[in-house]
Chain A
Amino acid sequence: MTATLERLPLLVRDWITGFFPEPVRWLVSGLLAIVAILAVFGLYFAYLTLAERKFLGRFQNRPGPNRTGPFGLLQPFADAVKALTKEDIVPQAADKLLHFLAPCLVVAFGLISFAVIPFGRYLIPVDLDAAVLYFFAAGVSSELALFMAGWASHNKYSMISAMRALAQLISYELPLLLAVVPVIMLSGTLSTSKIVVAQGGWTFGIIPHWNVLTPWGFAGFFIFMIAAVAETNRSPFDLPEAESELIAGHLTEYSGFKYALFFMAEYFGMSALCGLGVTLFLGGWQAPIDILQVVPSYVWFMVKLSCVIFCLMWVRATLLRLRIDQLTRLAWKFLVPLGLINLGNAAFWHLSADWSGPLQIVRWAISAAVIVIPFVLIGRTLSSGLAPRTYRYAT
Chain B
Amino acid sequence: MQNEPTSSAPGLAGTPANSSFDILHSPLGSPQQGASVREVNDPFHGDLLEVSMGPHHPSTHGVFRMVATLDGEIIVKLKPVFGYLHRNHEKLGENTTYLASMPYTDRLDYLAGMTNNWAYALAVEKLSGQVATERAEYVRVIVGEMMRIVNHCCLVGFLFNDLGTSFTPLLYAFREREKFLDLFEELTGTRMMYNYQRFGGCRVDPTPEWLAKAKALIDGFPRFLDEYEQFLTGNEIMLARTQGVGRLSPELAINAGITGPVLRATGVGYDIRKVDGYGVYPRFDFRVPIGDHGDTYDRYMMRILEMRESVKILQQAFRDLPAGPIIDPKAKNRGLRPKAGEAYGRIEGPKGEIGFYLISDGSTNPYRYRVRPPSFINLTVLEDMCLGHSVADAVVILGSIDIVLGEVDR
Contacts and interface: CB of A to CB of B under 8 A. Distances in A.
B233 interface: yes
A283 B243 CA distance: 41
26 contacts: A61-B171, A61-B172, A239-B392, A244-B163, A245-B392, A316-B166, A318-B168, A320-B241, A321-B237, A325-B1, A325-B4, A325-B390, A326-B237, A326-B241, A383-B236, A384-B10, A385-B243, A386-B236, A386-B240, A388-B233, A391-B291, A391-B292, A392-B289, A392-B290, A392-B292, A393-B269
B192 interface: no
A353 interface: no
Nearest to A159: B49
Contacts of A60: 167-168, 171-172
B264 interface: yes
A238 interface: yes
A59 interface: yes
A132 B407 CA distance: 57
Nearest to A386: B239
Interface in A316-337: 316-326, 329
B124 interface: no
Contacts, number: 145
B333 interface: no
Most buried by B among A59, A242, A329, A386: A386
Interface residues of A, number: 44
B49 A320 contact: no
Contact of A156 (B51, B238, B244, B392): B51
Contacts of B315: none
Interface in B231-284: 231-241, 243-244, 264, 269-271, 274
A157 B53 CA distance: 9
Given A386-B11, A386-B239, A391-B305, A160 B160 contact: no
Contacts of B58: 243-244, 247
Contacts of A159: 49
B164 interface: yes
B52 to A, nearest CB: 8
Contacts of B231: 318
A152 interface: no
Given A244-B161, A245-B59, A321 B9 contact: no
Interface in B307-365: none
Nearest to A323: B392
Q: Top 8 A-B pairs ranked by shortest CB distance? A: A394-B269, A321-B164, A393-B287, A386-B239, A394-B288, A60-B171, A320-B163, A244-B59
A56 interface: yes
A88 to B, nearest CB: 21
A247 B288 CA distance: 37
A238 B165 CA distance: 10
A321 B288 contact: no
Interface string B295-313: 0011001000100000000
Interface string B26-39: 00000000000000
Given A388-B234, A394-B287, A317 B292 contact: no
B44 to A, nearest CB: 19
B134 interface: no
Interface in B63-81: 70, 73
Interface in B5-51: 6, 9-12, 49, 51
B349 to A, nearest CB: 18
A250 to B, nearest CB: 15
A367 interface: no
